[in-house]
Amino acid sequence: MSATVNELYADLDLELAATRRVLERVPFEHWDWKPHPKSFSLGRLATHLAELPRFAEVIATTDEMDMAKSPMPPSQVGSNADLLARFDERAATMRSVVAAMDEDALAGHWTLRVGDTVFLDAPRSLLLRQHGISHPIHHRAQLTVYLRLLDVPVPGLYGPSADDV
Protein backbone atom coordinates (compact mmCIF):
# COMPACT_ATOMS: atom_id res chain seq x y z
CA MET A 1 0.00 0.00 0.00
CA SER A 2 1.39 3.39 -0.97
CA ALA A 3 1.37 6.45 1.21
CA THR A 4 -0.30 9.60 -0.01
CA VAL A 5 1.42 12.96 -0.25
CA ASN A 6 -0.48 14.12 2.85
CA GLU A 7 0.74 11.11 4.83
CA LEU A 8 4.34 11.44 3.66
CA TYR A 9 4.63 15.15 4.27
CA ALA A 10 2.12 15.84 7.06
CA ASP A 11 4.79 17.85 8.90
CA LEU A 12 5.70 20.08 5.95
CA ASP A 13 3.59 23.07 7.00
CA LEU A 14 4.83 22.86 10.61
CA GLU A 15 8.46 22.78 9.46
CA LEU A 16 7.99 25.66 7.03
CA ALA A 17 6.33 27.74 9.77
CA ALA A 18 9.21 26.99 12.17
CA THR A 19 11.73 27.98 9.51
CA ARG A 20 9.91 31.25 8.92
CA ARG A 21 10.00 32.05 12.67
CA VAL A 22 13.80 31.67 12.62
CA LEU A 23 14.20 33.74 9.44
CA GLU A 24 12.10 36.52 11.02
CA ARG A 25 14.80 36.93 13.68
CA VAL A 26 17.77 37.30 11.34
CA PRO A 27 19.46 40.63 12.18
CA PHE A 28 20.19 42.21 8.82
CA GLU A 29 22.79 44.50 10.40
CA HIS A 30 24.95 41.38 10.96
CA TRP A 31 24.44 40.01 7.44
CA ASP A 32 28.19 39.47 6.82
CA TRP A 33 28.97 38.05 10.28
CA LYS A 34 30.55 34.58 10.49
CA PRO A 35 31.06 32.52 13.67
CA HIS A 36 34.16 30.94 12.11
CA PRO A 37 36.22 31.56 8.96
CA LYS A 38 35.00 28.28 7.42
CA SER A 39 31.34 29.07 8.13
CA PHE A 40 28.81 30.69 5.83
CA SER A 41 28.05 34.28 6.71
CA LEU A 42 24.75 34.87 8.50
CA GLY A 43 23.27 36.30 5.32
CA ARG A 44 24.45 33.47 3.10
CA LEU A 45 23.08 30.84 5.49
CA ALA A 46 19.76 32.67 5.86
CA THR A 47 19.44 33.09 2.09
CA HIS A 48 20.26 29.42 1.51
CA LEU A 49 17.59 28.40 4.02
CA ALA A 50 15.04 30.73 2.44
CA GLU A 51 15.72 29.29 -1.01
CA LEU A 52 15.72 25.57 -0.13
CA PRO A 53 12.00 25.16 -0.92
CA ARG A 54 12.94 26.00 -4.53
CA PHE A 55 15.25 22.97 -4.61
CA ALA A 56 12.39 20.76 -3.39
CA GLU A 57 10.21 22.23 -6.14
CA VAL A 58 12.85 21.27 -8.73
CA ILE A 59 12.94 17.72 -7.33
CA ALA A 60 9.14 17.53 -7.55
CA THR A 61 8.82 18.91 -11.08
CA THR A 62 11.84 17.57 -13.01
CA ASP A 63 13.61 14.25 -13.48
CA GLU A 64 17.14 15.57 -13.14
CA MET A 65 19.25 18.61 -12.48
CA ASP A 66 22.72 19.09 -13.90
CA MET A 67 24.39 21.82 -11.85
CA ALA A 68 26.98 22.20 -14.63
CA LYS A 69 24.19 23.36 -16.96
CA SER A 70 21.79 24.97 -14.46
CA PRO A 71 23.56 26.27 -11.37
CA MET A 72 21.43 27.83 -8.66
CA PRO A 73 23.46 30.85 -7.50
CA PRO A 74 22.29 32.52 -4.30
CA SER A 75 19.90 35.42 -4.68
CA GLN A 76 20.79 38.90 -3.59
CA VAL A 77 18.76 39.92 -0.56
CA GLY A 78 18.51 43.58 0.46
CA SER A 79 16.55 43.37 3.71
CA ASN A 80 14.74 41.09 6.14
CA ALA A 81 11.55 41.82 4.23
CA ASP A 82 13.19 40.59 1.01
CA LEU A 83 14.40 37.45 2.77
CA LEU A 84 10.93 36.64 4.12
CA ALA A 85 9.22 37.43 0.81
CA ARG A 86 11.61 35.08 -0.99
CA PHE A 87 10.95 32.32 1.54
CA ASP A 88 7.18 32.83 1.47
CA GLU A 89 7.11 32.67 -2.32
CA ARG A 90 9.32 29.58 -2.49
CA ALA A 91 7.42 27.82 0.32
CA ALA A 92 4.02 28.49 -1.27
CA THR A 93 5.17 27.11 -4.61
CA MET A 94 6.72 24.07 -2.94
CA ARG A 95 3.49 23.35 -1.05
CA SER A 96 1.41 23.52 -4.22
CA VAL A 97 3.67 21.32 -6.36
CA VAL A 98 4.06 18.70 -3.62
CA ALA A 99 0.30 18.66 -2.98
CA ALA A 100 -0.34 18.05 -6.68
CA MET A 101 1.96 15.02 -6.89
CA ASP A 102 0.50 11.59 -7.46
CA GLU A 103 1.81 8.15 -6.57
CA ASP A 104 3.64 7.71 -9.88
CA ALA A 105 5.45 11.03 -9.53
CA LEU A 106 6.50 10.19 -5.97
CA ALA A 107 7.81 6.77 -7.02
CA GLY A 108 9.93 8.13 -9.87
CA HIS A 109 13.67 8.65 -9.50
CA TRP A 110 15.35 12.03 -9.46
CA THR A 111 19.01 12.70 -10.17
CA LEU A 112 21.37 15.52 -9.20
CA ARG A 113 24.58 15.65 -11.19
CA VAL A 114 27.41 17.93 -12.11
CA GLY A 115 28.23 16.79 -15.62
CA ASP A 116 29.02 13.09 -15.46
CA THR A 117 29.32 12.98 -11.67
CA VAL A 118 26.08 11.87 -10.00
CA PHE A 119 25.55 13.10 -6.43
CA LEU A 120 21.97 11.98 -5.86
CA ASP A 121 19.86 9.34 -7.56
CA ALA A 122 16.97 8.10 -5.47
CA PRO A 123 13.19 7.95 -5.35
CA ARG A 124 11.64 11.39 -5.53
CA SER A 125 9.61 10.75 -2.36
CA LEU A 126 12.81 10.17 -0.37
CA LEU A 127 14.63 13.17 -1.83
CA LEU A 128 11.67 15.44 -1.12
CA ARG A 129 11.78 14.34 2.52
CA GLN A 130 15.54 14.77 2.74
CA HIS A 131 15.90 18.06 0.86
CA GLY A 132 12.48 19.58 1.42
CA ILE A 133 12.24 18.94 5.17
CA SER A 134 15.36 17.40 6.77
CA HIS A 135 18.02 19.49 5.02
CA PRO A 136 16.26 22.77 5.94
CA ILE A 137 15.96 21.57 9.56
CA HIS A 138 19.74 21.13 9.62
CA HIS A 139 20.37 24.65 8.34
CA ARG A 140 17.65 26.11 10.56
CA ALA A 141 19.47 24.62 13.55
CA GLN A 142 22.74 26.19 12.39
CA LEU A 143 20.97 29.52 12.07
CA THR A 144 19.61 29.29 15.64
CA VAL A 145 23.20 28.88 16.87
CA TYR A 146 24.17 32.02 14.93
CA LEU A 147 21.26 33.86 16.55
CA ARG A 148 22.28 32.69 20.02
CA LEU A 149 25.89 33.78 19.43
CA LEU A 150 24.62 37.21 18.33
CA ASP A 151 22.40 37.40 21.44
CA VAL A 152 19.22 37.41 19.34
CA PRO A 153 16.29 35.65 21.04
CA VAL A 154 15.75 32.22 19.52
CA PRO A 155 12.13 31.38 18.72
CA GLY A 156 10.51 28.20 19.95
CA LEU A 157 10.41 25.50 17.28
CA TYR A 158 8.88 22.41 18.88
CA GLY A 159 7.79 24.14 22.04
CA PRO A 160 9.13 27.14 23.96
CA SER A 161 12.78 28.10 23.70
CA ALA A 162 14.88 29.32 26.61
CA ASP A 163 14.01 32.83 25.42
CA ASP A 164 10.26 32.18 25.73
CA VAL A 165 10.27 31.24 29.42
* Domain assignments of the chain as residue spans, ordered by start: 5-149
On the question of pLDDT at 1 being above 60, the answer is no
- DSSP characters for the chain? -PPPHHHHTTTHHHHHHHHHHHHHT--GGGTT--SSTTSPPHHHHHHHHHHHHHHHHHHHH-SEEETTTS--PPPP--SHHHHHHHHHHHHHHHHHHHHT--HHHHHSEEEEEETTEEEEEEEHHHHHHIIIIIHHHHHHHHHHHHHHHTTPPPPPSSS--TTT-
Q: What is the CATH number of domain 5-149?
A: 1.20.120.450
pLDDT digit string, tens, across residues 101-154? 888 888 899 999 999 999 999 999 999 999 989 999 999 999 999 999 999 999
Tell me the Cα Rg of the chain. Answer: 17
Percent of the chain with pLDDT over 70: 96
